[in-house]
């Protein structure tokens, strides 16, 4: 009787996760609200025109990037989605077809929630998911028949799989998450070419995780040398092994993307006009800052500068905080050791 009660009390309650469920519900509502308010505009009709062709023709015609400047991934997905609604006679219905982007938008919010929660705790995860759910730009692209939302979803889940692959306790679990990362990143790459800009970031993330793990091992060894330490010895996989596994998965992703990247290079070389490298870079950076903060608010240049300095300061604090905490912990342990030695 008592054992049954204990087991029941330890069972996770659904009510415990009501904040997460509420955020996902809000994300779904704002993305499904007035899906048919605007009729299809030109770019959406281009997507729909490609989706109505056969899967083989879509791949053959768009993979070369000659007839369309976007790869075939999203068009193939929209083709399958349209075939589902064709059963109900809704293959040309604005709202029905746009539910694909809305569903992917909710999946993006879920991915951000899980990623931020695993990195920084539940409170941070809830805050990050709320901001993602209500971000005007993300809501807008969730309601379009274009490839930008699917690419975003693939990148977010690729990042989550990367983290889970790194943190996996068993070889089989790590393999599954690394393969998931390859699949998610490849889907993003074959949906939108500029997703390739996230691959170097993924590589730097692996380097950062490896460096942080090495520092943690060094710190743990120092603490274990203390005569009053009772810390358990970590049984986690070797950081170098995990790094090599992640690097192999990223290399595989790059190899899968290589044929498409080659086609993009050939098209750019034959059609691109000579120009200035990084032309108007800072002007475009300011425009992106405006779009992804308060939509298109006409901020003064001075206010933009203050915002950049502020967020740069937050970044520096975030990078320095773990290092300072480690130094403080090691210093405190050394102080305890000296104190104990004085009474020995």
Q: Which alpha helices (DSSP H) does 87-197 contain, by range?
A: 94-120, 122-134, 136-142, 148-167, 171-189
Per the CB < 8 A criterion, the answer to whether 192 and 151 are in contact is: yes
Local structure of residue 338 (DSSP, 8 states):
H
Tokens of 210: 């490896």
Question: How would residue 243 be classed by pLDDT, with cut points 50, 70 and 90?
Answer: very high
For the segment 31-44, what is each residue's pLDDT rounded down to a tens digit?
Answer: 999 888 888 889 99
Q: Which residue has the higher pLDDT, 283 or 127?
A: 127
Q: What is the pLDDT of residue 9?
A: 42
Q: What's the token pair of residue 88? A: 């109900």
Cα angle 332, 320, 286; round to 5: 165
Q: How far is CA 308 from CA 137, 197, 285, 301, 303, in A?
A: 20, 21, 11, 11, 9
Confidence of residue 13 (pLDDT cuts 50, 70, 90): low
As a whole-number percent, the residues of the chain with pLDDT over 90 amount to: 54
Token reading at 229 = 């330490």
- Tell me how far CA of residue 332 lies from CA of 61, 257, 322, in angstroms: 65, 49, 15
d(CA 241, CA 83): 44
Q: 206 pLDDT exceeds 90?
A: yes
Q: Determine whether 217 is exposed, middle or buried from the number of CB atoms within 10 Å of its CB (0-12, 13-18, 19+).
A: middle
Q: Per-residue pLDDT for 144 more than 90?
A: yes
Contacts 24+ apart (CB under 8 A), 112-116: 112/156, 113/20, 113/23, 113/24, 114/160, 115/156, 115/159, 115/160, 115/163
Question: CA-CA distance, 21 to 83, in Å (whole number)?
Answer: 30
3-state secondary structure 222-277: HHHCCCCCCCCCCCCCCHHHHHHHHHHHHHHHHHHHHHHHHHHHHHHHHHCCCCCC
DSSP state of 93: -
Tell me how far apart the alpha carbons of residues 30 and 27 are, in angstroms, rounded to a whole number. Answer: 6
Of 210, 205, 156, 190, the closest CA to residue 76 belongs to 190
Tens of pLDDT, residues 45-54: 999 999 999 9
Dist CA 31 CA 193 (whole Å): 25
pLDDT exceeds 90 at position 174 = yes
């Amino acid at each position: 009787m008592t054992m049954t009660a204990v087991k029941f009390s330890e069972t996770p309650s659904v009510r415990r996760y009501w904040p997460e469920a509420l955020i996902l519900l809000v994300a779904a509502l704002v993305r499904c609200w007035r899906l048919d308010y605007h009729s299809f505009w030109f770019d959406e009709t281009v997507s729909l025109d490609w989706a109505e062709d056969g899967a083989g023709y879509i791949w053959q015609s768009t993979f070369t990037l000659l007839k369309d400047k976007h790869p075939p991934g999203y068009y193939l997905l929209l083709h399958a989605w349209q075939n589902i609604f064709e059963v109900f006679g809704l293959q040309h219905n604005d709202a029905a077809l746009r539910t694909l982007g809305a569903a992917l938008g909710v999946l993006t919010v879920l991915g951000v929630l899980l990623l931020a929660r695993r990195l920084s705790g539940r409170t941070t995860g809830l805050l990050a998911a709320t901001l993602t759910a209500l971000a005007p730009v993300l809501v807008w692209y969730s309601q379009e028949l274009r490839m930008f939302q699917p690419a975003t979803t693939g990148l977010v889940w690729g990042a989550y799989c990367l983290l889970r692959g790194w943190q996996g306790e068993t070889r089989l679990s790590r393999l599954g998450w690394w393969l998931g990362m390859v699949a998610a990143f490849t889907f993003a790459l074959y949906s939108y070419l500029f997703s390739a800009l996230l691959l170097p970031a993924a590589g730097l993330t692996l380097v950062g995780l490896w460096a942080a793990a090495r520092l943690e091992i060094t710190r743990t060894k120092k603490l274990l040398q203390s005569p009053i330490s009772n810390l358990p010895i970590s049984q986690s996989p070797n950081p170098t092994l995990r790094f090599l596994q992640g690097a192999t998965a990223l290399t595989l992703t790059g190899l899968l993307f290589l044929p498409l990247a080659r086609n993009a290079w050939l098209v750019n070389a034959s059609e691109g006009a000579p120009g200035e490298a990084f032309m108007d870079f800072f002007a475009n950076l300011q425009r992106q800052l405006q779009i992804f903060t308060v939509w298109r608010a006409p901020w003064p240049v001075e206010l933009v500068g203050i915002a950049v300095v502020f967020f740069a300061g937050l970044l520096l604090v975030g990078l320095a905080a773990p290092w300072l905490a480690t130094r403080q912990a090691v210093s405190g342990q050394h102080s305890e050791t000296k104190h104990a030695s004085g009474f020995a």
